[in-house]
Amino acid sequence: MSFTIDFNQSIWENVKRKGSPLLVAHRGVCGANIPCNTLTAYKIALMQGADVVEIDVSKSKDGVFYVFHPGMEHVFLKSDHLSTLDSSEIDQLVLYNQDSVKTSYHVPRLKEVLMLLKDKCYINVDKFWIDIEGISREIYECGVEKQCIVKTEIDDTYMTQLKEHASELMFMPLVWGKDTVVPKLQEIGVNVIGAEILFGKESDECISNEYIKSMHDRKLLIWANSIIYNEEAVISAYHTDDISFKESPDKGWGWLLDKKVDLIQTDWLLMLKQYIDTRK
């Protein structure tokens, strides 16, 4: 029987009911002529069984929100930074494919993406900190507040804004090596649902069996990444998508599964899903 998310249940309850990690599609599923962070990339992610879709938010000079990874304009748009352009200019841009050839795809507005994904999957809103109040408003206007997992850097200003404008939204902080943030966030009343762990070594505390068990005992989730966004920035001790193909999926995805993580973010959604099904 296929798994369907029940948004009237907590994300913890959905993970436990599924019985295997939620699969996170990094910027959708893209490749060949289909650029990342597009409506089509997100449709493919849904077709391949994504439980969570990760999106990146940018903001135009005149205050309109788009789904695009800030700083990647020179790669995918051959343009200036979106924050320096008005929405009328952004709407005229076209994205480039993996061969740097122009496509017919445009940068989607945030509302378009939220409405596409409404009632279908969880939505991981990255770059939430660029405008916590404004992005939260669009999330609530689209009626996807039960679906959204948001991220910000951890500082007093962001936490104040989070509690004021997004106190009900699910929040997942980044934990580098050792967790020093989750207990503090819970103390100040942030709706923490777990931690996205980043680790360079297998011996790092945040990937230890003891830490993961302590989180699960408190009904908190562990998000791990098999993606590689920079080969020099190691965030999963080399248990990655790449090693899963180059050597063995047991060394990449299998290692993370054996650690009992609750979410895995990947660029190879269907292959990971098939591997998990085989292991079952």
Domain ranges of the chain: 11-56+120-279
Which run of H or of E encompasses 136?
helix 132-142
Quote the longest CA-to-CA distance of the chain. 52
- Domain 11-56+120-279 classified CATH 3.10.450.50? no
Query: For residue 57, what are its two tokens?
Result: 């938010």
pLDDT of residue 1: 60
- pLDDT value of residue 178: 95
pLDDT score recorded for residue 153: 84
Residue 141 has pLDDT above 70, yes or no: yes
- What DSSP string runs through 192-254? B-EEEEEBSSTT-GGGSHHHHHHHHHTT-EEEEE---S-TTS-SBTT-SHHHHHHT-TTTTHH
Q: Tens of pLDDT along 213-269?
A: 999 999 999 999 999 989 999 999 999 999 999 999 999 999 999 999 999 999 999
Per-residue pLDDT reduced to its tens digit, 200-213? 999 999 999 999 99
User: For residues 203 and 58, what is the distance between their CA atoms, to the nearest angstrom?
Assistant: 36
Contact 44, 31 (CB under 8 A): no
Residues linked to residue 126 through DSSP beta bridges, in sequence order: 56
Q: What is the pLDDT of residue 211?
A: 98
pLDDT of 114 above 90: yes
Q: What is the pLDDT of residues 158-195, one digit of tens each?
A: 999 999 999 999 999 999 999 999 999 999 889 999 99
**pTM value surpassing 0.95:** yes
Q: Say which DSSP state 29 is in.
A: S
- What is the pLDDT confidence band of residue 280, given thresholds at 50, 70 and 90? confident
Pairwise CA distance, residues 64 & 247, whole Å = 44
